[in-house]
Amino acid sequence: MYELMIKDSFAAAHNLRDYSGKCEHLHGHNYTVELHVRAEQLMPNGLAIDFTDLKKVLKKVMEVLDHKYLNEDVEYFKINNPSAENIAKFVFDELEPSIKPAKVFRVCVYESENAKACYYK
């Protein structure tokens, strides 16, 4: 089994609903996203998947989130609280159908360098 990881980032504002504390107020983060994919075998060229292809697909999802007020500008977060956990699931679900021949294994979202949440199936 092979595992590859790439990173990208985006900046966004949000506030947490049904939460009592500082994060219930509008604030922002410079998020870092790690995309982990796995492949059971390599293609004939010795790659599990081209890093360039992974970066392009992840960049498309980052563009949906970048410089947005997540609660209002992204449909998914009008219903789902824009926590780091839910952002990780959103990114995972958006990427899962697009990545072949490798498979999305895990998505981690850092809302600071010391705090991250991951989603995987």
Exposure of 20 by Cβ count < 10 A (0-12 exposed, 13-18 middle, 19+ buried)? exposed
Q: What is the pLDDT along the chain (121 residues), one digit of tens a residue?
A: 999 999 999 999 999 999 999 999 999 999 999 999 999 999 999 999 999 999 999 999 999 999 999 999 999 999 999 999 999 999 999 999 999 899 999 999 999 999 999 999 8
Helix, strand, coil share (%) of the chain residues, nearest 5 = 35, 35, 30
Catalytic pick among 63, 67, 72, 96 = 67
- Does domain 2-120 match CATH 3.40.50.300? no
Amino acid at 76: Y
Q: What is the pTM of this model?
A: 0.95
According to the model, what pLDDT value does residue 57 have?
A: 97
Reply yes or no on whether 113 is catalytic. Answer: no
Catalytic pick among 23, 36, 85, 118 = 23
Reply yes or no on whether 67 is catalytic. Answer: yes
